[in-house]
């Protein structure tokens, strides 16, 4: 029996299914640069198909190289199913990913989260991340104004995955 369909708010994108591997039905999933096979502790992977996330139960998972993993699924043996999975984005539930590693490098996953400052309080929703080499910025909707805040690990006070709240400890005068 297939697990219930998850929504994107409860999942994290881990990569993209790029091709079929070998004759045993394994798929190659190219992971986002900050995710490694040992970060994933999932029973299901969710593929973005027809505008929604469809769960597939993992049979086996193993590393192929530094960027790719090989995964086989119990309910994806038919060629028609597998061909639809190729080129799809792949997700796991938030709880199934070691977020210590993930959040430190893939900041775009924080889009939509509430940003707070430890001293000031609520800043607003993170609407975007500007990826500037060695100096990424969070774009925060602060009462209708665009607030740019450095996306720096040293400024992160707390990551509340359950409530999707990022608490920062910003230097005085930044806001």
- Quickly list DSSP for 71-127: EEETT--SHHHHHHHTT-EEEEEGGGB-HHHHHHH-GGGGTTPEEEETTTEEEEEEE
What number is the average pLDDT over the span 71-94?
Answer: 84
Question: Which helix (H) or strand (E) covers residue 21, if one does?
Answer: strand 11-21
Which two tokens mark 90? 């792949």
Residues 92, 132 within the same domain: no
Q: Is residue 36 part of a domain?
A: yes
Q: The domain containing residue 44 runs over which residues?
A: 8-101
Pairing of strands 145-150, 156-160: unpaired
Residue 151's region, left for phi above 0, alpha for psi from -120 to 50, else beta, is beta
Q: What pLDDT does 71 receive?
A: 93
**Residue 1, pLDDT above cutoff 50:** no
Whether residue 3 lies inside any domain: the answer is no
Same domain assignment for residues 19 and 77: yes
Cα gap 39→167, rounded to integer Å: 23
In this predicted structure, what is the pLDDT of residue 112? 86
Report whether pLDDT(125) > 90.
yes
Verify that 47 and 87 share a domain, yes or no. yes
Is 1 part of any domain?
Answer: no
- The answer to whether residues 12 and 89 belong to one domain is yes
Whole-prediction pTM value? Answer: 0.58
Question: Do 94 and 121 fall within a single domain?
Answer: no
Q: Domain check: are 85 and 154 in the same one?
A: no
Closest CA to 26 of 92, 90, 73: 73
Question: Can you give the pLDDT at residue 106?
Answer: 67
Structure-model confidence comparison of residues 41 and 133, the more confident one: 41
């Amino acid at each position: 029996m297939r697990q219930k369909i998850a929504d994107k708010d409860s999942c994290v994108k881990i990569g993209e299914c790029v091709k079929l591997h070998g004759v045993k039905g394994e798929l190659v999933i190219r992971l986002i640069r900050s995710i490694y096979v040992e970060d994933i502790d999932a029973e299901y992977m969710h593929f973005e198909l027809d505008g929604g996330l469809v769960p597939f139960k993992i049979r086996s998972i193993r590393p192929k190289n530094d960027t790719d993993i090989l995964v086989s699924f119990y309910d994806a043996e038919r060629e028609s199913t597998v061909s639809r999975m190729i080129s799809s984005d792949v997700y796991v539930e938030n709880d199934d990913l070691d977020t210590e590693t993930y959040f430190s490098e893939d900041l775009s996953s924080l889009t939509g989260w509430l940003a707070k400052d430890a001293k000031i309080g609520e800043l607003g929703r993170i609407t975007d991340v500007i990826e500037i080499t060695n100096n990424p910025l969070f774009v925060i909707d602060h009462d209708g104004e665009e607030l740019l805040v450095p996306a720096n690990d040293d400024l992160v006070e707390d990551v509340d995955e359950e409530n999707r709240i990022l608490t920062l400890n910003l230097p005085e005068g930044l806001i």
